[in-house]
A and B are shown apart, each in its own frame.
Chain A
Amino acid sequence: MRGSHLLSIADLSRLEVLEVLDTARELARITDGGIRKLPTLRGRTVVNLFFEDSTRTRLSFEAAAKRLSAEIINFSAKGSSVSKGESLKDTAQTLEAMGAELMIIRHSASGAALRLAESGWVKSHIVNAGDGMHEHPTQALLDAYSMREHFPEHDRDFSGLRVGIVGDILHSRVARSNVLLLTTLGAQVVLIAPPTLLPIAIDQWPVEVSYNLDSEIRSLDAIMMLRVQAERMKDAFFPSEREYARDYGLVGARLKELKESAIIMHPGPMNRGLEISAQSADCRQSVILEQVANGVLVRMAVLYLLMGGAPIPTGGMLI
């Protein structure tokens, strides 16, 4: 991790990724053993700093913090002074003055988490919960965790697994984090999207690219459907929902083309009927709800690894 922050998957080595995933797995065992609440972060304060709506991610972090007995302060930009022009800097400094030691930040600006960590505005640990179109590292970690549980023979190495990420790659922080993480673990990644929804210079990413879902689907061990926002139509990324669903949705007969052993993933929230049919989302191969459960475990692991140990010395005393 970068200093005492989780900002980008690009900052994690393979071993650090495995450390997070292993920690999450042990937390799962403790939880499964019946311990619902751990005293680990008792008396410590965590802030959910959400400048963008995301109920699921916020609740997931909140559950993780609570299960570690941390105090959690929820800040959401809606109806707050941010709409009156208060800046990220002022908001973060205010919350730190209230005792925050770790900030989970969700922001529409790419790079906001890194900026918060490195600008010197605050001393807190920073966890990136999604920054613009850049990254969403805990989502990628929980996705990897979910895949690992389904492919035990690939426990420490995803070599030989072929993962398709389908849809709006261009605007997706989930895709960026997953490409970094999956390739770090050795998986083969194929991005499947219309050319308008792929970034320029995609040829420099360590992935395969395809415009054709039907020609790829049989080869995939995991298929990750990305949410497609209908308002993209306005900017001429694709002509209509119907055409998008027909070419790139996991809909209709396409589901039957998947390998028996393949799993279906979606970071949520889903647009049923657009990128994924109800049948696909609810079928035996879907692990979408497991992803949600695993999200809490992975986020607990991240909070523990960042806050659980000795503070990074900043010239002060060890408490």
Chain B
Amino acid sequence: MGIVLDQSEIERSLKRIAHEIIERNHGLDSVILLGIPTRGVTMAHRIGALLGLIEKAVPVGTLDITMFRDDLRLRPPRALLPTQIPAGGLEGRDLVLVDDVLFSGRTIRAALDAIGELGRPNSVQLAVLIDRGHRKLPIRADYVGKNIPTNLRENVKVQLLEIDGNDRVEVSL
């Protein structure tokens, strides 16, 4: 299938998501962003920067969900990635989880478990760049860059400038 989003489309998607976050939460006073490593963190920082330009800066943190996964035993142990909860915590905030691709929903389930241990936010919302379908859990995204119907054998690869040297999303077999 090749490239499904290029650099300008990614930028546009993130801008739209930023606007939707402001709209949905009636401002940004209580909003906090939590990126899921690795590319979710980059996205969270970009969205955070956009929010800063549009309205005001919000706290941006990272949440590694490795230790909360239910599929750990299917692969060799993975190295843990950074977790950085913004000062002030999650209590009473409107928390937006940010990840690159929404697929089975297991990662988000793990993230919800982790958040449950961290405190009691007012709400938890989910922003993803790509929703490729095939959910195995009752989870949906609140903000979606692009819906891309895929089959299970296909591979969705998100590349971001800060990590991969360029911005694009590819689907390949």
Task: List the interface of chain A (C-beta within 8 A of B).
Answer: 19, 22-23, 26-27, 29-30, 33-40, 68, 304-306, 308-311, 318-319
Contacts and interface: CB of A to CB of B under 8 A. Distances in A.
A145 B27 CA distance: 43
B contact residues, range: 20 to 34
Contact of A34 (B72, B81, B89): B89
Contact of B77 (A26, A68, A308): A308
A305 B77 contact: yes
Contact of B67 (A304, A306, A311, A319): A304
A144 B78 CA distance: 22
B119 interface: yes
B interface majority secondary structure = loop
Contact of B83 (A29, A36, A304): A29
Interface of B: 64, 67-69, 72-85, 89, 113-114, 117-119
B73 A319 contact: yes
Contacts of B73: 308-311, 318-319
Say whether chain A's binding surface is mostly helix, strand, loop, or mixed: loop
B74 A310 contact: yes
Contacts of B119: 34
Contacts of A23: 79-80
B64 A26 contact: yes
Nearest to B91: A34
Given A30-B64, A30-B67, A35-B117, 17 more contacts: A29-B83, A30-B80, A33-B84, A33-B85, A34-B85, A34-B89, A68-B67, A304-B67, A308-B73, A309-B72, A309-B75, A309-B77, A309-B78, A310-B74, A310-B75, A310-B76, A318-B74
Contacts of A35: 114, 117-118
Contacts of A37: 117
B113 A26 contact: no
A39 B109 CA distance: 12
9 contacts: A26-B80, A33-B85, A34-B117, A39-B67, A68-B67, A304-B67, A306-B77, A310-B73, A311-B73
A310 B85 CA distance: 29
